[in-house]
Amino acid sequence: MTLAEQKPINWTNARTLIALAILVGTELVGASWAAGWALGGLFQLGPTVGHAFEAVFIAIGFVGLYYFMRAAVAHEPFRN
């Protein structure tokens, strides 16, 4: 299927998915970052290990966002 043969974009669904990605992404990645910061501080691991914890938790947050958005697009496709 070429690009010209693809179905048109349903902009209502596309806007909904973009807003969902922004809202859920901010919540999920922000909470993951805060969890990494909190655990690094709780166990007094030092700044380097604390930042590593934050990076790992942020990556986990982005992976969670990826799978969430895959499910959202499957339930509300943006192409008719």
d(CA 9, CA 65): 22
Q: How confident is the model at residue 70 (pLDDT cuts 50, 70, 90)?
A: very high
Within-domain flag for 42 = yes
Within-domain flag for 80 = no
Within-domain flag for 4 = no
> Which pTM does this prediction carry?
0.85
Q: Mean pLDDT in the chain?
A: 93
Which residue segment(s) compose the domain that 54 sits in?
Answer: 18-75
Within-domain flag for 9 = no
- Range scoring the smallest mean pLDDT among 4-8, 26-30, 36-40: 4-8
Q: How many domains does the chain have?
A: 1
Within-domain flag for 12 = no
CA angle (5 as vertex; 4, 7 as ends), nearest 5 = 105
